[in-house]
Amino acid sequence: MHRPALSAALQAFASIELKNAIYVACPISSGRRELDLMLAASQFDRSVLRADLVHRWEREVLEPNRSDARAAATRTRARYPGHNVINPSEFNIDGLDQPGYDVLCERIIRGHVARIVLADGWEFSRGARVEALLGAELGLAFEDGAGRSMGEHDIWAACEKSEAALLDAGFPEDRMRDLLPPTSGVAAVG
């Protein structure tokens, strides 16, 4: 984690006194595209995959995920004119590693967000699942990428369905459990 970069980003959010923002939780560096690449390459270690297939991972995972995230944020802004919509795929902070981004997004959600939009494919994304779990813990409002309201039951059902789809596709269960945050037992929250 690069503490000065994280601190500066958090100070920027605090300085504008952002409240009641809408956060678009979406796959960025992980998600279904990365999981499919893992299956195709038979490489289920995220760090090894990204190191060995860096250009392919950027082309097939990162770039299309960022494009989809921009589109999801654009649709959300159209549904909520005049509201602040946060697109985390636009965060590009030199020196900030994944744990640093996790802290940044968690603090943004805790301090500035009232609603989370779960963009298409969120249930396959490590980060978006963490954000959904946090949002549920905080009692935030949820909707899907099309703007339909979602309850906690919908969220947990989507997670379970995504896990079943991965297992059906041949993804090793132990690796899936390592790559995606568990949601079992969380449905009792709220």
Render pLDDT for 97-133 as a digit per residue (tens, 0 to 9): 888 888 889 999 999 999 999 999 999 999 999 999 9
SS3 at position 32: helix
Residue 106 forms part of a structural domain? yes
Residue bearing the bigger pLDDT, 1 or 72: 72
SS3 at position 161: helix
Residue 130 forms part of a structural domain? yes
Render pLDDT for 128-154 as a digit per residue (tens, 0 to 9): 999 999 999 999 999 999 999 999 999
- Give how many domains the chain has, as a whole number: 1
Residue 189 forms part of a structural domain? no
Residue 78 forms part of a structural domain? yes
DSSP classification of residue 172: -
Residue 188 forms part of a structural domain? no
Strand runs labelled E in the chain: 21-25, 85-86, 113-118, 141-144, 149-150
Residue 187 forms part of a structural domain? no
- Rounded mean pLDDT of 14-32? 91
CB distance 105 to 114 below 8 Å: no
DSSP classification of residue 107: H
Enumerate residues 6+ apart whose C-beta is below 8 A from 62: 28, 29
Residue 42 forms part of a structural domain? yes
**pTM greater than 0.85 (yes/no):** yes
Domain enclosing residue 81, as ranges: 3-10+19-181
- Rounded mean pLDDT of 19-24? 94
pLDDT at position 54 is 97
Rg (CA), the chain: 16
CATH number for the domain spanning 177: value is 3.40.50
Q: Among candidates 179, 8, 188, which has minimal Cα distance to 107?
A: 8
Confidence of residue 1 (pLDDT cuts 50, 70, 90): low
